[in-house]
């Protein structure tokens, strides 16, 4: 029986297979191939009868009909490996890092009475908790997003138990890091407020004679930059003077991302800018000041060090700010938008474009003797200042509308969304911190404070500061003294002369009748503001005690008028009033020298503005009362508070077991002692459904 006639296609396949085998023969002979079982074959389609071929794989059906079939070859074909991708620089992940332990790695540590020195290799690190200062002797490290070298300023670290620990990782071999003791005073906040714990900065767990300790439990939360955020941060730092606006709901990590980006931009960008600006738009939980204020801050990267600390330890003097008198813009959204517009306009006209550093330093309040020398006309170059904007996490209803209005005002170059944001136009959308690998690995903290507790800590920390850091001044560092406020000496200010701009009261939630203004002002939180315009000239005769206070209220009406925006310098506590002498007693961390300098520079008098902010309960206690409330005292409770019988202390209501003797029978509830309850759920269902409507 004759063989079947071969088709022309089969002949062409055989010729092509023979040519390919001849060309590949030397290469195959020179290459050692692993031996395979006899039943297996390296050819995808061996030269066999159609009935003996294996069924084609499903992936083969995706090939084009015109693609050539594999040639039948007598010699086994060599399967070449896929091409290797180009080499990428190694990015250290948290799994590659090795954290040192004081006992297990004792050879890498040396310590004395005031410091601990450790030698780190690349990708080695330590996790710190407590209060200390970081000095890089040689090499480089990354801490809280900042890259520190031997030329960097020392970095303060204030890491309490209710906040993440600080992660310090070496970026080069043979890095030498010196960790020194610090005593800023913030570690004593447990003496006046228990919300951060009795030992908030773990001083009892510190190393012998030191104010900090190394965390050995790596499951404890630590401040690390998530891998999912690093590419975006790098791109933002490489951009030319970016204006970055952050959006996201509550607890997505907006403030964490912004703080890490600030430190990275100020230390590790390709071209480190001289100044970096920060606009804090979250009046409920601002990052660098007390609640109730919209503030604009500026950092001098050559004179100021980055600080690794929670927000309630990071207050500083703003470049420009406005006091809204509440922790939410809900009751006066128009005032909120107008204040934001003023801060943005100030940044654009005075700070964004400059030709030399002394122009910015003048607005920062740096004394002329400490300013940089003015360069010559030839050496001047226009510089642009980057700006970071941290928005609030209220992204529903009115809050969402405010964020949209602010975005239109700012016109940012980059918008970064964290988590699910019901808005469009973002440059990058990143996962929330809790959804990142670092956030999941850290797990829950031992105890987390809520927003209300954070505001209380922020206010008390602010009022107990003895030195408020000023921008652009290298030696201006934060310091605290937690002596009870009722025992702290106040500033005695003459209302007629020292507060020539008057006293204003913002109508928040309820108005105050004129006869009750002094009663409402006593013990209130107020803002020290600058008059937006010079008050009208009045009689030059000395003011009598009977007309000091009416004149102050009359002048202060201009401070709270809807058409005016009075710049604020900071907050103060009205500890008491002297109605007869026309004096007000104030407690504030702002120095008298700074306020006098601002009055001289701007030529405008100062005034006070009262809002809905209140002194936290813990701030009204002395040492004995605090010990009684915390049940630290085992004997009878103290009878007096700051020299006054407890039953006669206004604004406070005492439990029966804290009022000694027969004073309980004489106790009458003071005005305003009951907790205020505000219901905000009225009409909410109808409002969310789009029905709108009135009251």
Q: Find the CATH number of the domain harbouring 115.
A: 2.60.120
pLDDT confidence bin for 469, thresholds 50/70/90: very high
Taking a C-beta distance cutoff of 8 angstroms, is the pair 253, 145 a contact?
no
| Residue tagged 């809905």 (tokens) | 612
Q: Which of 170, 188, 217 is the C-terminal boundary of a domain?
A: 217
Query: Domain ends where: 587, 618, 649?
Result: 618
The CATH number of residue 461's host domain is: 3.40.50.300
**Which candidate, 558, 585, 422, places its Cα nearest to that of 501?**
558
Identify the pLDDT of residue 443.
Answer: 61
- Say yes or no to pLDDT of 3 above 90: no
451 with 497, same domain? Answer: no
Per cent of the chain over pLDDT 70 is 77
pLDDT at 8: 56
Would residue 38 count as lying in a domain?
no
Which of 453-462, 528-537, 637-646 has the least mean pLDDT? Answer: 528-537
pLDDT in tens, 354-374: 888 988 999 998 988 889 887
Mean pLDDT in residue range 202-214:
86
Q: How confident is the model at residue 154 (pLDDT cuts 50, 70, 90)?
A: very high
pLDDT at 661: 58
Which pLDDT score, from 0 to 100, does residue 444 have?
Answer: 61
Which range marks the domain in which residue 642 is found? 637-675
* Number of C-beta neighbours around residue 522 at 10 A: 16
In a domain, 317, yes or no: yes
- Closest C-alpha among 183, 203, 189, 202 to residue 461: 189
Residues 571 and 495 in one domain: yes
The tokens of 339 are what?
Answer: 């204040």
**Residues 231, 379 share a domain:** yes
The more confident residue out of 220 and 604 is 604
Lowest-confidence pick of 332-336, 526-530, 585-589, 640-644? 640-644
Q: Which of 168, 179, 175 is nearest to 125 (CA)?
A: 168
582 closest CA partner among 515, 501, 496: 496
Evaluate if residue 632 carries a pLDDT over 70: yes
The answer on 375 and 336 residing in a single domain is yes
pLDDT(184) > 70: yes
Per-residue pLDDT band at 220 (split at 50, 70, 90): confident
Residues 575-601 have a mean pLDDT of 93
For helices 254-267 and 227-238, give the axis angle rounded to 10 degrees. 50
Kindly state whether residues 392 and 527 are assigned to the same domain.
no
Position 515 pLDDT exceeds 90: no
Note whether 515 and 654 are same-domain residues: no
pLDDT over 80 (residue 217): no
Q: How far is CA 358 from CA 320, 328, 351, 352, 365, in A?
A: 17, 36, 11, 14, 10
Confidence of residue 124 (pLDDT cuts 50, 70, 90): very high
Among 27-41, 95-109, 404-418, the range scoring the smallest mean pLDDT is 27-41
**pTM of the predicted protein model:** 0.81
Residue 660 included in any domain: yes
């Amino acid at each position: 029986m004759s063989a079947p006639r071969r088709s022309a296609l089969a002949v062409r396949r055989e010729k092509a297979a023979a040519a390919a085998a001849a060309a590949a023969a030397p290469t195959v002979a020179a290459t050692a191939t692993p031996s395979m079982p006899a039943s297996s074959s390296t050819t995808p389609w061996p030269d066999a009868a159609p009935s003996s071929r294996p069924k084609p794989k499903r992936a083969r059906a995706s090939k084009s009909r015109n693609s050539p079939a594999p040639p039948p070859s007598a010699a086994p074909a060599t399967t070449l490996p896929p091409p290797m991708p180009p080499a990428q620089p190694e990015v250290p992940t948290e799994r590659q890092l090795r954290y040192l332990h004081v006992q297990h790695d004792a050879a890498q540590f040396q310590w004395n009475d005031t410091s601990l020195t450790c030698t780190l290799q690349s990708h080695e690190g330590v996790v710190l908790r407590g209060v200390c200062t970081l000095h890089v002797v040689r090499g480089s490290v990354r801490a809280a997003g900042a890259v520190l070298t031997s030329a960097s300023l020392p970095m303060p670290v204030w890491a309490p138990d209710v906040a993440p620990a600080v992660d310090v990782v070496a970026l080069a071999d043979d890095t030498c890091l010196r960790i020194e003791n610090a005593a800023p005073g913030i570690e004593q906040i447990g003496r006046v407020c228990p919300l951060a714990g009795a030992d908030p900065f773990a001083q009892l767990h510190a190393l012998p004679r030191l104010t900090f300790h190394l965390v050995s439990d790596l499951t404890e939360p630590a401040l690390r930059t998530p891998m999912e955020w690093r590419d975006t941060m790098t791109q933002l730092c490489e951009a030319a003077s970016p204006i970055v606006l952050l959006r996201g709901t509550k607890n997505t990590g907006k403030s964490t991302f912004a703080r890490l980006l600030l430190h990275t931009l100020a230390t590790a960008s390709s071209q480190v800018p001289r100044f970096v600006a920060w606009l804090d738009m979250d009046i409920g939980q601002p990052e660098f000041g007390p609640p109730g204020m919209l503030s604009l801050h500026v950092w001098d990267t050559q004179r100021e060090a980055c600080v690794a600390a929670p927000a309630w330890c990071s207050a500083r003097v703003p470049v420009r700010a406005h006091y809204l008198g509440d922790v939410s813009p809900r009751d006066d959204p128009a005032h909120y938008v107008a204040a934001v517009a003023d801060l943005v306009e100030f940044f654009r006209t005075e700070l964004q474009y400059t030709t030399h550093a002394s122009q910015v330093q003048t607005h920062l309040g740096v004394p002329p003797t400490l300013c940089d020398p003015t360069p010559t006309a030839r050496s001047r170059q226009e510089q642009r200042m980057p700006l970071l904007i941290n928005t609030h996490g209220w992204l529903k209803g009115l809050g969402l509308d405010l964020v949209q209005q602010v975005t239109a005002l700012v016109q940012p170059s980059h918008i970064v969304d964290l988590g699910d944001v019901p808005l469009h136009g973002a440059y990058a959308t990143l996962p929330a911190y809790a959804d990142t690998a670092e956030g999941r690995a850290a797990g829950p903290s031992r105890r987390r404070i809520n927003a209300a507790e954070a505001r209380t800590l922020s206010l008390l920390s602010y009022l107990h500061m003895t030195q408020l850091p000023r921008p652009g001044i290298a030696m201006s560092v934060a310091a605290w003294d937690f002596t009870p406020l009722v025992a702290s000496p106040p500033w005695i200010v003459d209302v007629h002369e020292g507060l020539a701009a008057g006293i204003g009261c913002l109508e928040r939630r309820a108005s105050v009748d004129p006869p009750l203004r002094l009663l409402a002002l006593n013990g209130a939180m107020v803002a020290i503001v600058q008059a937006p315009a010079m008050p009208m000239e009045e009689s030059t005769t000395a003011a009598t005690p009977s007309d000091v206070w009416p004149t102050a209220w009359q002048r202060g009406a201009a401070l709270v008028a809807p058409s005016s925006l009075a710049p604020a310098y900071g907050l103060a506590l009205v500890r008491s009033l002297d109605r007869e002498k026309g004096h007000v007693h104030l407690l504030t961390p702002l120095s008298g020298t700074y306020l006098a300098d601002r009055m001289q520079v701007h030529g405008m008098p100062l005034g006070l503005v009262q809002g809905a902010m209140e002194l936290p309960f813990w701030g009204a206690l002395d040492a004995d009362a605090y010990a009684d409330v915390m049940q630290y005292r085992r004997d009878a409770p103290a009878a007096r508070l700051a020299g006054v019988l407890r039953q006669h202390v206004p604004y406070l209501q005492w439990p029966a077991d804290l009022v000694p003797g027969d004073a309980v029978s004489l106790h009458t509830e003071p005005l305003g002692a009951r907790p205020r309850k505000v219901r905000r759920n009225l009409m909410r269902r109808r409002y969310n459904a789009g029905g709108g409507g009135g009251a």
